[in-house]
Amino acid sequence: MLLRLEDLAKQIRGQPWAKGVPVDKGFWSILMKWIDENVLSLFLTRLIAQINKIVDIDADLSEPQILESATRFMVEFLGASSASVRIYDPQTEQMLSYCSYPSSEENREAIIPLDGSIAGEVVKTRQAYVAPDLSREERYHNKDVIQSKQVHSLLAIPLEIPRFFPRERDTIGVIQIYYAEKDREFRPLEIETANTMAKRLSFVIARKKILSMHRMAEKKEAIVRHIFQKVGSRGGVKLAEAFNEVLPELTDIVDLQSCTLFSVSEDLGHVILEAGFPSVGGYHTVGKVIPVSEEPVFELLLQLRQYSGDSLYEVVTPLYILIVDPQRSDLISENLKRFTAFHHIHSILYIPLGYNGEISHFMTFDAVDQRQRYRDDEIDLLLFLGRELLKARKMERLDDALHDFKNPAIATAGFARRLKKIAEKGEWEASRVQVQKYLDILVEETSRLQELAMSIYRVGEEQKVNLTDIVRRRFEINREAIKEQLKPNIDLKEGPYDPDIKVKCHALHLERVLDNLLNNATKAIPFKGGELAVRTYSEGDWACVEIKNTGEISEQDRQKIVEGEGEGRGMYITYRIIRLLKGKIEIMAEGGSTTFVVSFPIDRS
């Protein structure tokens, strides 16, 4: 034993009640030996067994499940009725309900204040707190629990989980153990036993964090692997595909209902939904444009408004914004509240992304359960995911730009050669009109090459453009590409054109769509030759471009393109931009020819 039996006997004999006990001196030695062999050893055996149960809790369980298991062991060993755990949240300075045994979270207050509560007092002092009679306890406010659960006394002990990473905070909380007895006397041994059991929880949490570190490292490797597999694929990086392959890697760590990636316009005026998970059965419309002014949470993310509130329904930090309850948060618009209610979304996490303090994108994570907080390692993983997706987005734009360099590069080289021939022959004056035309085309196409290069980062502002004028120019460039590639026997036909149909878009986007469609139509014409025709017209509220070529597309390929599953890079770019511009594409194959019709909303402003 740690204590010498003689010393223990001496202390007992010194007690006033023991001095008058009529026993001989040998009695105390016999009593001490009996206590040692039959009481202390049995108690320690049982206590160690119960502590081992706590230490051996499965680290694969979630933190609330681990704590619930630990409180069950404590309740059973201490002969209590129930127990609950509250964790201190420094963001809101509130005590959050984390778990209970038996599980009854629906009947427990989700949040209680730090000041004036038993839980808050334990957190402040790091000392145990006893309440022999809850009905007379001023710090215990929810008196309904006394009757509903038939508990009348309480032992509250501190729960301290030391930080595991340098930038983490210590986790501070309280375990509240309820008893049925009224005016219960809490013995020091009982309190110290409860304290000891609570402290052993740190081993379980440490083991869980080590396991989490290993899993987070595995998840990061999986994210990088998926993205770089796309980089090495023949079709290049496609963000939507990478997004939907990477997100399932996280579902066993972060309980996600859905996730979206938004890009932010250069003027911070609107956001564009770039990718969504899941792609099948999801409820987010890729390409949707939302004004930032419509959503207070967007303005806060982009630092266009200050956050002065201390609401219980959101957590605002430099790294993320967590909407704990969308239906009660002032940062959520009425429209988004209706959306979240319909889709049973009970909390939303927003994570801003960008470079050098400039936010260019952000991600949202919808959860079915009402998340009160995310762990630091969870946030770290989601930030890593966001950064890798931004790299994939940039590589996708690079792939797109390299693909679309071809037509303007061919045209530039061709017209430059024509100018060189005119210069070699000294025919500047005789060819003045042609020279001017060639120079205009060179200026336009080199400017376009510059825009394509810049589009890797950002695309310029939308503007009102004449659809027919752009179609005419791109058809002329495609004509030059046909000549440069020595494609024989292609009969080019233009018109009729509607001369005055306007659409609002990024001109570069529209040019890329037309270049890709004209290039694909040209390649689809059989080697023996055929026809390539183009025209524009309006149909109701739609501005339409029709491109028709000899050569019939298969029904399988037609269906793939219409559904955005076309295999070529050009059709992938085309489909994505058409969706971004709120347009549509139709494909008809008949009589040995294929007709593409792309339509965009007419701008009548």
Give residue 493's pLDDT band: very low, low, confident or very high (50, 70, 90): very high
Whether residues 427 and 476 share a domain: the answer is no
592 vs 311, residue with greater confidence: 592
Listed residue (147, 35, 390) closest to 382, CA to CA: 390
Q: Identify the H or E element spanning 136.
A: none
Q: Identify the H or E element spanning 503.
A: strand 502-505
Q: What is the mean pLDDT of residues 52-81?
A: 86
Distance in angstroms (rounded) separating the CA atoms of residues 219 and 223: 6
Burial class, 498, CB count within 10 angstroms (exposed 0-12 / middle 13-18 / buried 19+)? middle
Q: Which of 440, 458, 476 is the last residue of a domain?
A: 458
107 vs 428, residue with greater confidence: 428
Q: Name the token pair of 192.
A: 């110290």
Q: How far is CA 512 from the centre of its chain?
A: 30
What is the torsional sign of CA 45, 47, 48, 50? positive
The mean pLDDT of the chain is 80
Q: What is the mean pLDDT of residues 398-411?
A: 67
Q: Which of 210, 237, 259 is the last residue of a domain?
A: 210
Listed residue (219, 227, 211, 223) closest to 252, CA to CA: 219
Residue 238 covered by a domain: yes
Residue 215 covered by a domain: no
Q: What is the mean pLDDT of residues 478-497?
A: 82
Q: What is the pLDDT of residue 432?
A: 78
Query: CB-side exposure of 256: number of CA atoms within 13 Å?
Result: 24
Q: What is the mean pLDDT of residues 60-84?
A: 88
Q: What is the pLDDT of residue 600?
A: 92
Q: What is the mean pLDDT of residues 5-30?
A: 69
Q: Name the token pair of 241.
A: 């595909």
Three-state SS string over 162-194 comes to CCCCCCCCCEEEEEEEEECCCCCCCCHHHHHHH
Q: What is the pLDDT of residue 2?
A: 40
Residue 153 has pLDDT above 90, yes or no: yes
Q: What is the pLDDT of residue 166?
A: 61
Residue 84 has pLDDT above 70, yes or no: yes
Residue 232 has pLDDT above 60, yes or no: no
Cα–Cα distance list, 564 to 509, 568, 572 (Å): 17, 11, 7
Residue 9 covered by a domain: no
Whether residues 50 and 170 share a domain: the answer is yes
What is the torsion angle, in degrees rounded to the nearest 10, for the CA atoms of residue 358, residue 359, residue 360 and residue 363? 160
Q: Which of 383, 415, 443 is the last residue of a domain?
A: 383
Whether residues 230 and 308 share a domain: the answer is yes
Domain residue limits at 259:
221-383
Q: Which of 92-106, 148-162, 424-438 has the highest mean pLDDT?
A: 148-162
Q: What is the pLDDT of residue 532?
A: 92
Whether residues 438 and 412 share a domain: the answer is yes
Whether residues 345 and 484 share a domain: the answer is no
Q: What is the pLDDT of residue 542?
A: 93
Whether residues 315 and 191 share a domain: the answer is no
Q: Identify the H or E element spanning 236.
A: none
310 vs 77, residue with greater confidence: 77
Cβ partners under 8 Å of residue 230, min gap 6: 236, 237, 238, 241, 242, 245, 392
Residue 393 covered by a domain: no
CATH code (residue 570)? 3.30.565.10
Summarize pLDDT for 91-137 with one digit per residue, the tens: 667 788 878 888 764 556 777 888 889 988 999 999 999 999 999 99
Residue 350 has pLDDT above 50, yes or no: yes
Q: What is the pLDDT of residue 399?
A: 63
Q: Give the chain's domain count.
A: 4
Residue 16 covered by a domain: no
70 vs 19, residue with greater confidence: 70
Query: CB-side exposure of 381: number of CA atoms within 13 Å?
Result: 26
Q: What is the pLDDT of residue 164?
A: 66
Residue 402 has pLDDT above 70, yes or no: no
Q: What is the pLDDT of residue 537?
A: 94
Residue 196 covered by a domain: yes
Residue 6 covered by a domain: no
Q: Identify the H or E element spanning 346.
A: none
Residue 4 covered by a domain: no
Whether residues 414 and 372 share a domain: the answer is no
* Rounded-to-5 percentages of helix, strand, coil across the chain: 45, 20, 30
Q: What is the mean pLDDT of residues 510-526?
A: 86
Q: What is the pLDDT of residue 538?
A: 92
**Lowest pLDDT segment from 35-49, 152-166, 223-237:** 223-237
Q: Which of 290-294, 376-380, 420-424 has the highest mean pLDDT?
A: 290-294
Whether residues 509 and 548 share a domain: the answer is yes
595 vs 581, residue with greater confidence: 595
Whether residues 266 and 320 share a domain: the answer is yes
Give residue 549's pLDDT band: very low, low, confident or very high (50, 70, 90): very high
Q: What is the pLDDT of residue 38?
A: 67
**Lowest pLDDT segment from 62-71, 263-272, 365-374:** 365-374
Q: What is the pLDDT of residue 414?
A: 76
Q: Is 277 helix (H, G, I), strand (E, B) or coil?
A: strand
Q: How far is CA 88 from the centre of its chain?
A: 25
Whether residues 448 and 355 share a domain: the answer is no
Listed residue (161, 186, 157) closest to 174, CA to CA: 157
Cβ partners under 8 Å of residue 39, min gap 6: none
Summarize pLDDT for 180-218 with one digit per residue, the tens: 999 999 988 889 989 988 888 877 877 777 777 777 777
Q: What is the mean pLDDT of residues 23-51?
A: 74
Give residue 318's pLDDT band: very low, low, confident or very high (50, 70, 90): confident
Q: How far is CA 423 from the centre of its chain?
A: 59
CATH code (residue 243)? 3.30.450.40
User: 0.85 cut: is pTM over it?
Assistant: no
Whether residues 451 and 469 share a domain: the answer is no
Max Cα distance, the chain (Å): 138
478 and 407 in contact (C-beta within 8 Å)? yes
376 vs 586, residue with greater confidence: 586
Whether residues 314 and 325 share a domain: the answer is yes
Summarize pLDDT for 440-472 with one digit per residue, the tens: 777 777 776 766 665 555 555 678 889 999 999
Q: What is the pLDDT of residue 595?
A: 92
Q: Which of 35-39, 228-232, 438-442 has the highest mean pLDDT?
A: 438-442
- Omega before residue 113 within 30° of 0, cis: no
Q: What is the pLDDT of residue 1?
A: 39
